[in-house]
Amino acid sequence: MTAQLGSMAYDLLRNTAWFILLALIFVPLERLFPRNPQPVIRANYREDLFYYFINGILPKLILILPLSLLAAAVHHVGPNAFYQWVADLSVRKRLVLALLVGDFGAYWGHRWSHEWPLLWRLHSVHHSAPEMDWLVNSRAHPLDMVFTRLCGLLPLYLLGLAQPTASTTDIVPFVYVIFGNLWSFVIHANLDLRMGWLEKVLATPAFHHWHHTNEDPRLVNKNYAAIFPFIDMIFGSYFLPKSRWPSSYGLLETQTPKPNPSQHLPASSLQV
């Protein structure tokens, strides 16, 4: 019990340090180059702050067991020659492959979260945000985060891109998770940023903001990829006008459920 409490305290301190660092980066950028004028402490800010800390702890705890079992199973029943070939690749090559394969898996996890009613009940929490900024990235049901992350990590383990020899700690899945998490904050940010041809290679705020729009029912199921937009191009879900941004965000009137994020908060945290 003492060890568990110590681990949770460490996670809390780590998440606090990351929050301060992220705020120091994104708050000034969003004030200097805002896409939509809005205060730093906007509506629902405290709810999203609550989600930030909860989702910095719970998904990690839930994923430890299935990922450990998956890693053990893969190395006991998988093709050893193939995994040894993957292990012999340079870290750089494995990292590039991990980013591609992981985003491919996360794309389908994200897409299924829109298309399967049970998963949508969880994922709709994320889409309930009426405004966009970096902290909206954290607004999500913990189980929704677990599912999407598992979909991204599963192919990495199955293809031997994470701990290919199971004999040493591997930096590749760690870098994949860190980069994926950080880039998710970027694409949610309230930044008036366009990158020309590079937008077809790397996801940007303009790309992901269209995923959150509620201005047209035909646009709600677009731009699922978190890193590589060409995955959406391949599967017909890409949408990014050259000179236009969404006019509004949130759930459509016809979409259900319409979750109230504050239902997950203790009553005392809602007091002004």
Per-residue pLDDT of the chain (272 residues; tens, 9 = 90+): 565 556 667 888 999 999 999 999 999 999 999 999 999 998 889 999 999 999 988 888 888 878 777 777 766 666 677 778 888 888 899 999 999 999 999 999 999 999 999 999 999 999 999 999 999 999 999 999 999 999 999 998 888 887 655 555 678 888 898 999 999 999 999 999 888 889 999 999 999 999 999 988 888 789 999 999 999 999 999 999 988 999 999 998 766 554 444 444 433 332 22
Is residue 224 in some structural domain?
yes
> Nearest to residue 262, comparing CAs of 253, 251, 252, 271?
271
Does residue 1 sit within a domain?
no
In a domain, 101, yes or no: yes
In a domain, 159, yes or no: yes
CA distances from 99 to 96, 152, 160, 181 (A): 5, 9, 13, 12
Q: Would you say residue 92 lies in a domain?
A: yes
* Domains in the chain, number: 1
70: containing domain: 10-270
The CA distance from 125 to 141, in Å, is 6
| Per-residue burial over 72-96, b = 16 or more CB atoms within 10 Å of its CB, e = otherwise | eebbeeeeeeebeebbebeeeebbe
Cβ-contact 123, 113 below 8 angstroms: yes
Residue 209 falls inside a structural domain:
yes
Q: Is residue 2 part of a domain?
A: no
Q: Is residue 123 part of a domain?
A: yes
